[in-house]
Structure formats: C-alpha cells, structure tokens
C-alpha cells in the first residue's frame, strides 16, 4: 500500500530539510576549520557546536520521515 499524496509530500519535505541541514553543517564545518587555522579557536568551537545542533536536527527529521513511511505519522488531506 502506497502513501497518500499528503504523506508523500510530508516525507519528501522532511527528507529535503534534513538534507539541507546536513549540507549546512558540512559548510559550517569548513568555516570552522578555516577559523581554527586562522587562530580563532573560540569561534571555531562555537561553529562546531552549531554543527552538532544541525546534525541532531537532521537525524530527528530523518527519523520522522521513516515514521511517515511506516505510517506512524500521517497527514490528512
């Protein structure tokens, strides 16, 4: 049995936002590395903490998308 259109859209949106968070975290990690190399370790560490928050959010959204697929979370039309 396939997902309804609203649930397909929800799952796609959750996966897309999770992907955006992952991409953002990767880019911020590059910035943190440059900050560290420039001697600005305090800011580098602050950016790395932001990366941790983004990664955690990514994992939660992927989990929610999996729950939509398993029909544990649904969206009505």
Per-residue pLDDT, 76:
84
Per-residue pLDDT, 77:
67
Domain that holds residue 57: 5-69
Per-residue pLDDT, 61:
98
Query: Whole-model pTM?
Result: 0.88
Residue 75 within a domain: no
Residue 76 within a domain: no
Residue 77 within a domain: no
As for how many domains the chain has, the answer is: 1
Per-residue pLDDT, 37:
98
Evaluate whether 14 touches 68 at the Cβ level (below 8 Å): yes
Write out the chain's pLDDT in tens, 77 residues: 789 999 999 999 999 999 999 999 999 999 999 999 999 999 999 999 999 999 999 999 999 999 999 999 999 86
Closest CA to 14 of 47, 48, 70: 70
């Amino acid at each position: 049995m396939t997902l309804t259109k609203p649930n397909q859209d929800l799952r796609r949106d959750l996966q897309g936002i999770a992907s955006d968070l992952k991409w953002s975290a990767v880019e911020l990690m590059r910035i943190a590395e440059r900050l560290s190399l420039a001697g600005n370790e305090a800011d580098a560490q602050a950016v790395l903490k932001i990366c941790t928050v983004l990664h955690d959010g990514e994992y939660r959204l992927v989990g929610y998308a999996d729950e939509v697929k398993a029909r544990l979370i649904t969206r009505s039309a």
